[in-house]
Structure 1
Amino acid sequence: MDQELQARLDEWHENNEFDRIVDAVLELPVVERDYELLGHLARAYNNVGRYNEALEQLLALADQGREDPRWFYRTGYAYYHLQRYAEAAEAFSRSHELEPDEDVEEWIELVREKEERWERQERRAAADRAERMRIVEEEGQQEPFAGMDLSAFWEDSAYARETYVCEPPTEEMIAAVEEELGGYKLPASYIALMQVQNGGIPRNTCFPTEEATSWAEDHIAISSIMGIGLDKPEALGGSSGSRFMIEDWGYPDIGVVICDCPSAGHDVVMLDYRACGKDGEPSVIHVDQESDYEVTYLAPDFESFVRGLRPAEDYETPAEVTLEENLQKVTNGAFSPLLAELCTAAAEVEGLELLIRRSAERLVREKGYFALHADEKSVLMYDVQFWLYTRVYPEPTTEEYLKVYSGMIAFGGQGFSTGGYAPGFVEDWLKDRLKNGIIRKDHGKLRLAEGAAADILERLKVAGQA
C-alpha cells in the first residue's frame, strides 16, 4: 500500500474520521484494494457500527489473516457486536495466542460472560417454546387471551389518549403498518389486544426477569405499548415509532419495537423475529442501549408477555427522577468542562449561562425530563452548542464535530446533562441546517452562515426570557 495513503488512513483513524477511511478505500479500483487496505476498511466499518459489512470484508480475507492477530481481533470485535459471542470468544482467543495483549484478555473475559448469559437465556427460550408447543398439541390453538379479562388492562388518562391511543385498527391499517415495519407480520395476540384499545399505558407495567438489566436486578418496566397506526408519533408506524428507534437510536434491526420504557429511549421492548422469520410467532425481548444494546429474553410470545405483566407495587422499583429533580439538574447542575469553557469564551454575552439554563428548563417542563429530540426547542439547543463550539474551535469537519458533541450537554455526569443522546438526532439536525443554508460546508469544513449566529442568540434570549 502507498505510504502516503497509509499515513492518511492512520491519521483519520486517530482522529476518529472513520467515514473518510471508508470513502477513501471504496474510491480505489477493486484491484488496488490489498489485504492491508481492506483491513483498514473493516476496522473503519467496525468503528462506525457497520458490523455486518466489517465481518463480510474480514471473512473474505480469512486465508490471508490466519496468522494475523489484528484480523482475529477485528473479527472478534464484529462478532461481539453482532452478539455472536461463541465466535467472538474464539476469535479473541486466537488473537491473544498470536500476540498476547492485556486488552484482548479483558475482551475474552467479557465475551465469555456474555456467552454464558446468552446460553442461559437460549435454554430458557427453548424450554418456553417447547412448553407452548406441548400445550397447543394437547389443548389445540386457543383464541388470544382466552379467559383473560382485558377490560381493565389499560389505564385511562387524557395523556394516554392524546399520546398513544389510535383509532381501532382496520385490516387496511394493519397491512399498511406491517409494510412500514419492513414486512414483519404482527402477532394475532397483538392485534387482538389493540382491538380492545389501540395502544396506551397498561395498568401493570413491570415484567420479571432472571437477568439483571440497567433498570433493576429482577424486572424491567415499560411506560406504554405502541398502537397500530401511522399518524401518532408514538404509534408503531409513527415518526417516533419502531423504525425510528431502529434507524435513529441504533436498536438492532431484528423485529419491531413495541414498548417505551421509563428511560426515555435508553431501553425498549421488542418483538424478536430472528428464530421465526417475518411471518412467524416472535418472542419478546428487552434491549438495553445502556449496555451496548444487550438483549434480555422475556417471553416466548406477545400474549405470554402481556399475561406476565405485574403491577409496580410488586417490586422495589428504582426511584423515579421527579420533575422537580430534573428541573434542579438544569437550573443548578454543573456544566461539563467543555460547555463551561465555551461559555467562558463568550463572556461578552450577558447572562449566557442563565439563558441556556432557562431554555433547558422550558424543555424539561414540556417533556418531564431533559432530552433533545427533533422539536423546535431541542433544535435551538443544538444550534446553541454549534455556535458556542465554533466560536472557540472554528471550522470543524463533520466527523470532528460529531465526535466532540457528546462532551457538551449529552454526557455531563450528574450535572447539566441529558445523560445520553441518539446520534441520529444530531446527524439529522446537521443535515437540515446544511440543507437550509444555516450551516455552510466549504472544503469539508463547517461554519455558521452569515447572520446565523445573531439569529441563534436572539432565539436563545427569547427562549430564556419566556
Structure 2
Amino acid sequence: MNPTLLEQLNHWNEEDEHQQIVDTLLALPEEDWDYEAISLLGRAYNNLQQYEEALALFHEIADAGQKDPLWHYRMGYAYYHMQRYEEAAKAFARSGELEPGDPDTDLFVEWSLRKAEKQRKQAERLAARKAAGSASHGSSAEGPPFSDAFLSSFWKESDYAQNSYQSEPPTDDLISSIEEELGYKLPASYIALMKHQNGGIPCNTNFPTEEATSWAEDHIAITGILGIGREKRYSLCGDLGSSLMIEEWGYPDIGVVICNCPSAGHDVVMLDYRACGPDGEPEVIHVDQEGDYEITFLAENFEAFIKGLVNDEVFDTSAEDKEADLHKVAHGAFSPLLAELCANATEVESLEQKIRTICTQVVEEKGHFSFHADERSYLMYDVQFWLYTKSYPDTDRAKYLDIYKDMIAFGGEFGQRGYAPSWITSWLDQRMEEGRIIQDHGKLRFTDQAVSELLQQLENF
C-alpha cells in the first residue's frame, strides 16, 4: 500500500474517522486491493460495529492471515461482538500464541471463555425449560403471591417515584390493551403486585447473582419497577418504557423490560419469554447493553425475583474495599513500565512516594482507586504522560493511548484492574486545547512551561 495513504488511514483511525476509511478504501481500483487494504477495511468495519461485513472480509484473506496475529485478533473481535464467544476465544488464543504478552489479547481470551461458558449454560437451561414446559415455573403456592405483611414494607415512598413511576392500579381493560401492545401476557404475580401499587421504587433494590455482571461480581441493582400503563415515563408503554428500550436502545426482542437500573439505560431487567412463548410464565433476566446485550439469568419467575430482592447493606463492602485499595497504593509493586519510567526521572526526588501520596488521596476522597475527571486524577494523567514521553519522545497519539494501560490501569499490584479509555482521550484533548500538550511532526509532548508547572505541583507532595 502507498505509504502516504497508509499514514492517512492510520490518522483517520486515531481520530475515529472510520467511515472515511471505508469510503476511501472502497474507492480504490481493484488492483490495489491487497492484504493490507482488506485488513484495514475490516478493522474499520469492526470499529463501525459492522461485524458481519468485517468478518466476511477477513475470511477473504484467511489463507494469508494465518500467521498474522492482527488477523486473528480482528477475527476474534468481530466474533466477540457477534456473541460467538467460542470462536472468539479460539481466535484470540491463536493471536496470543503468535504474539505473546499482549494484555488486550489476554483479557479478550479470558472474557471470551467466561462468556462462552455462560452462553452454554444458558442454552442448556432454556432447552430444559422448553422440554419440561412452563407450567411448573409459575407461582409456587396457591392464593395471592404476596402477603399483606410483605407488601406493607415493599415500596419506598418518594415524590420522584410518584411522579415518574406510579400510576393508579390498572383495570382489566388496561391490562389487556397493554398486553396486546407488547405482544405478551403479563405474569399473574406481576399484575398482583401492580394492583397493590402500580410501579415504583422498592425498598430492596439488589438481586444476588451466581455470575458477575456489569454492575458487580455477585449482584445486580435496580432503580425501579415499571408499572402497567402509558402515562408515566417509567411505565411499560411510557416514554421510557419497554418498547423504547427494545426498538431504540437495541435490547433483544424476547420479552418485556420491567426494571431500569442505575446505569441510566445501559442495563435492564426483563421478562424472558423465549422458553415459554408469549402466553407462558417468563423467566427474569438481566441484560447488559455495554456487554453486547449479555444475558444473565436471575429467577425462574417474577414472584421469585421480587421475593429475592435484598437491601443495599447486604452488598456494602465499601469500607473493606477502601482499606484494600489504601494498602495497595501504599505498598503495591509498581508495574515494570512505571518502575522503569520513575527510575529515568531524576528531576523529582522521591517520585515513587509522591505518586503513592497522590493516589492515597484519590482513594481517601473516592473510597476506591480509580481516575476520572477530578483534579488529582488529571494530575496523575499528567504525571504518567510526562514520564512516558520523557523516556520515549517518539510517541504519537495512538501509541500513547495504547501504552497508557500498562503503567497503572492494568499495573498489577499497584493497579486499577481497568479504566475507561474515554477519560484518557478527554484529558488529552483538554490538555491540547489548553496548549499544555503540543503535537510536533505527529509526536506529542508537554510544553516546557507545562513541565515546569507539573514539577512544581509534585514538589508540594
Relative distance call for 1:76 and 1:430 in structure 2 (3 A) is: closer
Relative distance call for 1:207 and 1:269 in structure 2 (3 A) is: farther
Name the counterpart of 1:53: 50
8 Å Cα contact 2:373/2:423 also seen in 1: yes
1:121 aligns with 2:122: yes
C-alpha distance in 2 between matches for 1:194 and 1:32? 65
Name the counterpart of 2:285: 284
1:170 aligns with 2:163: yes
Residues 51-130 of structure 1 mapped to structure 2, 5 A cutoff: 52-59=49-56, 64=60, 75=75, 77-85=77-85, 115=116, 117-125=118-126
Q: Tell me, which stretches of 5 or more residues in structure 1 are unaligned?
A: 175-183, 229-235, 237-251, 262-267
Relative distance call for 1:149 and 1:132 in structure 2 (3 A) is: farther
Relative distance call for 1:77 and 1:197 in structure 2 (3 A) is: closer
Relative distance call for 1:293 and 1:459 in structure 2 (3 A) is: farther
Name the counterpart of 1:222: 219
Name the counterpart of 2:425: 427
Residues 367-446 of structure 1 mapped to structure 2, 5 A cutoff: 367-394=366-393, 396-414=395-413, 416-446=414-444
Name the aligned partner's letter for residue 163 of structure 2: T
Name the counterpart of 1:307: 307
TM-score, normalised to structure 1's length?
Answer: 0.60
User: Post-superposition shift, 1:307?
Assistant: 3.0
User: Post-superposition shift, 1:400?
Assistant: 0.6
C-alpha distance in 1 between matches for 2:144 and 2:400? 54
C-alpha distance in 2 between matches for 1:260 and 1:172? 15
1:338 aligns with 2:331: no
Name the counterpart of 1:366: 365
C-alpha distance in 1 between matches for 2:297 and 2:16? 34
The total of aligned residue pairs comes to 385
Report the secondary structure of 1:409's partner residue. Answer: coil
8 Å Cα contact 2:329/2:359 also seen in 1: yes
C-alpha distance in 2 between matches for 1:26 and 1:153? 56
C-alpha distance in 1 between matches for 2:145 and 2:385? 52
Name the aligned partner's letter for residue 382 of structure 2: D
User: Post-superposition shift, 1:393?
Assistant: 1.8
8 Å Cα contact 2:270/2:286 also seen in 1: yes
Name the aligned partner's letter for residue 80 of structure 1: Y
C-alpha distance in 2 between matches for 1:432 and 1:132? 58
C-alpha distance in 2 between matches for 1:442 and 1:396? 10
Relative distance call for 1:8 and 1:50 in structure 2 (3 A) is: closer
C-alpha distance in 2 between matches for 1:381 and 1:195? 48
C-alpha distance in 2 between matches for 1:166 and 1:437? 47
8 Å Cα contact 2:55/2:75 also seen in 1: yes
C-alpha distance in 2 between matches for 1:420 and 1:227? 29
Name the counterpart of 1:179: none
TM-score, normalised to structure 2's length?
Answer: 0.60
User: Post-superposition shift, 1:390?
Assistant: 1.9
Cα shift readout 1:167-193 (whole Å, capped 9, x = no counterpart):
33524999xxxxxxxxx9xx9979979
C-alpha distance in 1 between matches for 2:362 and 2:159? 26
Name the counterpart of 1:447: 445
Relative distance call for 1:82 and 1:151 in structure 2 (3 A) is: farther
C-alpha distance in 1 between matches for 2:144 and 2:380? 50
8 Å Cα contact 1:411/1:417 also seen in 2: yes
Cα shift readout 1:385-444 (whole Å, capped 9, x = no counterpart):
112222222252111101111121112212x22222122221222222223333223443
Report the secondary structure of 2:428's partner residue. Answer: helix
C-alpha distance in 2 between matches for 1:110 and 1:335? 25
Q: Tell me, which stretches of 5 or more residues in structure 2 are unaligned?
A: 100-105, 168-181, 226-233, 235-248
Relative distance call for 1:429 and 1:226 in structure 2 (3 A) is: farther
Report the secondary structure of 1:170's partner residue. Answer: helix
8 Å Cα contact 2:54/2:78 also seen in 1: no
Residues 239-318 of structure 1 mapped to structure 2, 5 A cutoff: 254=251, 270-271=268-269, 283-285=284-286, 296-299=296-299, 304-309=304-309
CA radius of gyration, larger in: 2
Residues 148-227 of structure 1 mapped to structure 2, 5 A cutoff: 149=150, 152=153, 167-168=160-161, 170-171=163-164, 198=201, 202=205, 205=206, 207-209=208-210, 213=212, 220-222=217-219, 224-226=221-223
C-alpha distance in 2 between matches for 1:383 and 1:201? 42
Percent of pairs with identical residues:
33
C-alpha distance in 2 between matches for 1:18 and 1:457? 30
Relative distance call for 1:207 and 1:417 in structure 2 (3 A) is: same
User: Post-superposition shift, 1:370?
Assistant: 0.7
Name the counterpart of 2:175: none
Cα shift readout 1:105-158 (whole Å, capped 9, x = no counterpart):
x9999979865642330342466699997589999xx9997868356568x9xx
Cα shift readout 1:211-266 (whole Å, capped 9, x = no counterpart):
x5499xxx9533753469xxxxxxx9xxxxxxxxxxxxxxx9748995579xxxxx
C-alpha distance in 2 between matches for 1:166 and 1:342? 54
Name the counterpart of 1:352: 351
Relative distance call for 1:102 and 1:400 in structure 2 (3 A) is: closer
Higher mean displacement: 348-357 or 302-311: 302-311
Cα shift readout 1:58-106 (whole Å, capped 9, x = no counterpart):
43686x55876659955565123421247769x97xxx9xxxx999xx9
Q: CA RMSD in A?
A: 5.8
User: Post-superposition shift, 1:339?
Assistant: 1.6
Relative distance call for 1:322 and 1:222 in structure 2 (3 A) is: same
C-alpha distance in 2 between matches for 1:306 and 1:225? 11
Name the aligned partner's letter for residue 149 of structure 1: F
Higher mean displacement: 117-126 or 19-28: 19-28
Relative distance call for 1:397 and 1:111 in structure 2 (3 A) is: closer
Report the secondary structure of 1:391's partner residue. Answer: helix
Relative distance call for 1:7 and 1:412 in structure 2 (3 A) is: same
Name the aligned partner's letter for residue 52 of structure 1: Q
8 Å Cα contact 2:35/2:61 also seen in 1: no
Relative distance call for 1:271 and 1:61 in structure 2 (3 A) is: same
